Structure 1
């Protein structure tokens, strides 16, 4: 029994209490929570340099702003869905939303790097309580023949939010409302969160609770410890001078994650609930999907951080201009999503997406190489657009293709684990590409703009390698999706 599966929702009775208007209002509340989570995972890629200058943090501080949030969410997602099953999806959604709003305020008021990083980690954990409840709540709001329409709205909203996130962050930082500068990217969550909380308390439906449901919290702690032990050396190792114990900790983290898999098998053998169905680890499609999720989303988050650093620290752009410079990639991603519908939910579509992303990365490398320092950021727009198109083509069929390689009864466990793998990839991207960037940059101190060009080029080469690895993993995926996966 997997702790990431969601039981079939019970249809709500028709009538004034659950009218179509109320159902769509509830969907709006769910989307507010999901958009808040998405934006907070993106805003620090643009605001990071300003935050660091204001607080006096280290280069690693910039990486932790992104990695701390996403690794906490990755660990929390393993149990977030099942906690909703046990205590009620509405209760968990509102608890996560309330906590997320409070930690946003703490982030806005933070006066030192340690407080802000701690708040970001708590934000990630609370987001992991909130986000997994969305699917079950939306399913309970509509009859089966209408639920597809609701899910059809969520995709474009989230995609547009991804476009708006970096721009909004840059605008809020540059506008410096009330003299709060970067603090406004967190403070803006306060009124939005409070309004959504009140509306959610009134409008969201209650779900059945499974009070006797057993949740493998020990397994969750093992997984969290393993993830942390991998991420910490990758972020802090450079600042510490790569002492021997950093490599021991990294190896121990990988071993702990292997121990998590063994723990899942052990519980299954005893007939106990698991966080991940052990049978999934024997399926090539699922294991390949895990690697693809980790590798490719490393490039997505790491690339966002990389270009944010290059545009601001290397080229001296303001946060708003840096955010605007990413529009080409965001627009390309929307185009890629559309093209994926024409090409079909097939393995070939994913491979084409990875190939296009690689071409875009090579184009970015070439653009940087042929221009005199300092590079004109706007000349990178075509390369960023191609990266965006490739990303959209690769991401759109990802879940459908991977989940087509597992049994029907395993999709709940598999989808939850794949979502967690995405967040692990986000954390690794901020850690690995950020470390490569700063390592090369610090090794070429005093060289001015050329040092930033070299650092960005080195990180892009690593990103290219990660994309190649993701493309290689597609050979073990099903040829095409055989059943649609909602949400």
Structure 2
């Protein structure tokens, strides 16, 4: 069976081992999907074990997706040049090694570095699958092959957080959170071995040289943008962080100029410049960047709120997100039935997701710090439903506005932008969340101070001591929530403990219980307030998504439906 250029028609002769090969491709998709989700559940346990700062939690998500975004720009081209089978096997092997390094990481820096390695090799592995499927299957089986992506991605989105929570709580063989990465080893080894045995060989006959300088410029611009957004808050926003952001804008400008120059001189650019003259494609980039930023930020802060704010176990936090995943799967299914409405489905999905997000805010306000997962389930179902409605038609509609010879570049660029959006979501919304947390806890402690003093007076604590304890509790709550590292006990908290131990009372043990309960309640309320403020930012981002979606074409071109069928699962797995 001869290979075709990327984007060409599938081979006429069906590949003998095509169904086994499809399972190999799906195994790679599952590994990526799970690892994109698991750290949002496991990050509190990881930080407790390895230490680090709030930025560590952000980098666990942002490092992976940023590396994925950078690598995807050239990942598909590597398959054209050197063979999709070879690149898939190399990517799966590297991803497995990265998972092993994550599982044995001894410091936050080592873990983040291993996550970046996972993302880079994942970007080599994932683009090869779609191209191989289009070569292996005859047209009459193509829909069935691509149709398996939806259920697999849906089950992964549901099972990923639950599996991560169960593995963390189960502490198998004393590994704790490390098992969320070590579980990739048998799956990755199986994918490598089966890939060698069953994937088809061959490479594109029309492959062109890599644009290495373009890749370096794109990577530099993305890194210059994301790094200061993650680290700036903890460093006090020094001048160089703003200089880096300005530098990112300049580097992306140079990247655009270089891509246009490369095309004029007969080279093959990473991104076809003519794409940016198409309103639908540029609108799709805006929609993808903003929407996936909001989605990732929502997922990260929700998981942190469940575990750090409400005190849920990792497993309970994972189970609490099942309604969201179920809503997403239902949204994907519903979008297929509503396909004829085209862009209106994206608008409807954005509106439904925004309404669901507002529903989460309302639930937080009504249920308070005693909120249960069942109370939050209706709003999460709505949020997931809107997300599924938006994501299902998105890729096909955006690609429909480009010319056939631009499809490969457009698909790779759009998917990379989605991953970059996910990285920015962890950076920007994580920074907003953690930035508001300290003041939120202090405000909640101040609000509850009269009740605290009343309860202290009931055990004969003097008024002056009541004021000292209330003031110390506010300071401790603020400093603990804003602390750069968990292992350092803020001085204000040490003073609070000393004050509680030394005050005169008819029941010293009751004083400790009263102050402990007040501190816990203030912490939960502070997390709730920070979560609420962050969610309003998400609602604003969805509003921008709604407006930007007017730039998209109304419908996907009918002749593109078969071609774009293989792209939708990739977009859905981001």
Shorter-chain TM-score: which interval?
over 0.9
* Larger gyration radius, structure 1 or structure 2: 2
**Partner of residue 376 from structure 2, selected from 356, 361, 380:** 380
Match of 1:77 in 2: 72
**Mapped partners of 1:141, 1:150: distance in 2:** 10
**Mapped partners of 2:364, 2:344: distance in 1:** 30
Aligned length: 478
Which has the larger displacement, 420-429 or 406-415? 406-415
Q: Deviations over 1:402-446 (max 9, x none)?
A: 111112221211111110011011101111111111001022342
**Mapped partners of 2:281, 2:208: distance in 1:** 26
Please show how residues 285-434 of structure 1 align to structure 2 within 5 Å: 285-344=280-339, 346-434=342-430
Given that 2:10 and 2:138 are in contact with CA atoms closer than 8 Å, whether structure 1 keeps it comes out as no
Please show how residues 171-190 of structure 1 align to structure 2 within 5 Å: 171-190=166-185
Match of 1:480 in 2: 555
Which has the larger displacement, 384-393 or 334-343? 334-343
Given that 1:87 and 1:210 are in contact with CA atoms closer than 8 Å, whether structure 2 keeps it comes out as no
TM-score, scaled relative to structure 2: 0.81
**Helix, strand or coil: the match of 1:444?**
helix
The 3 A distance-change label for structure 1 pair 249 and 187 is same
Q: Deviations over 1:136-167 (max 9, x none)?
A: 11111111222221111122211211111111
**Helix, strand or coil: the match of 1:233?**
helix
C-alpha displacement of 1:254: 2.1
User: Is 1:458 aligned with 2:533?
Assistant: yes
Note the residue ranges of structure 1 that are not aligned, 5 or more in a row. none
**Helix, strand or coil: the match of 1:397?**
helix
C-alpha displacement of 1:191: 1.1
Match of 2:100 in 1: 105
**Helix, strand or coil: the match of 2:210?**
coil
**Helix, strand or coil: the match of 2:244?**
helix
C-alpha displacement of 1:12: 7.0
Please show how residues 176-215 of structure 1 align to structure 2 within 5 Å: 176-210=171-205, 213-215=208-210
**Mapped partners of 1:192, 1:103: distance in 2:** 13
C-alpha displacement of 1:378: 2.9
Given that 2:80 and 2:207 are in contact with CA atoms closer than 8 Å, whether structure 1 keeps it comes out as no
Q: Deviations over 1:291-332 (max 9, x none)?
A: 111111112211111110000000000011000000111000
Which has the larger displacement, 154-163 or 314-323? 154-163
Given that 1:43 and 1:166 are in contact with CA atoms closer than 8 Å, whether structure 2 keeps it comes out as yes
**Helix, strand or coil: the match of 1:373?**
helix
Q: Deviations over 1:450-481 (max 9, x none)?
A: 11011101110111111111111011111112
Please give the root-mean-square deviation of Cα atoms over the aligned residues, in Å.
1.4
C-alpha displacement of 1:201: 0.4
**Partner of residue 228 from structure 1, selected from 205, 223, 231:** 223
Match of 2:147 in 1: 152
**Partner of residue 59 from structure 2, selected from 57, 64, 74:** 64
Given that 1:68 and 1:427 are in contact with CA atoms closer than 8 Å, whether structure 2 keeps it comes out as yes
Match of 1:27 in 2: 22
C-alpha displacement of 1:217: 1.0
**Mapped partners of 1:480, 1:210: distance in 2:** 33
**Mapped partners of 2:107, 2:205: distance in 1:** 42
Given that 2:325 and 2:384 are in contact with CA atoms closer than 8 Å, whether structure 1 keeps it comes out as yes
**Mapped partners of 2:364, 2:533: distance in 1:** 11
**Mapped partners of 1:353, 1:260: distance in 2:** 33
**Mapped partners of 2:201, 2:536: distance in 1:** 49
**Mapped partners of 1:211, 1:396: distance in 2:** 31
User: Is 1:131 aligned with 2:107?
Assistant: no
**Mapped partners of 1:128, 1:12: distance in 2:** 28
Given that 1:306 and 1:434 are in contact with CA atoms closer than 8 Å, whether structure 2 keeps it comes out as yes
C-alpha displacement of 1:10: 6.2
C-alpha displacement of 1:222: 0.5
**Mapped partners of 1:40, 1:251: distance in 2:** 32
The 3 A distance-change label for structure 1 pair 372 and 155 is closer
Match of 1:468 in 2: 543
C-alpha displacement of 1:210: 4.8
Given that 2:88 and 2:125 are in contact with CA atoms closer than 8 Å, whether structure 1 keeps it comes out as yes
**Mapped partners of 1:215, 1:78: distance in 2:** 10
Given that 1:39 and 1:161 are in contact with CA atoms closer than 8 Å, whether structure 2 keeps it comes out as yes
Given that 1:9 and 1:136 are in contact with CA atoms closer than 8 Å, whether structure 2 keeps it comes out as no
**Mapped partners of 2:303, 2:435: distance in 1:** 17
C-alpha displacement of 1:107: 0.5
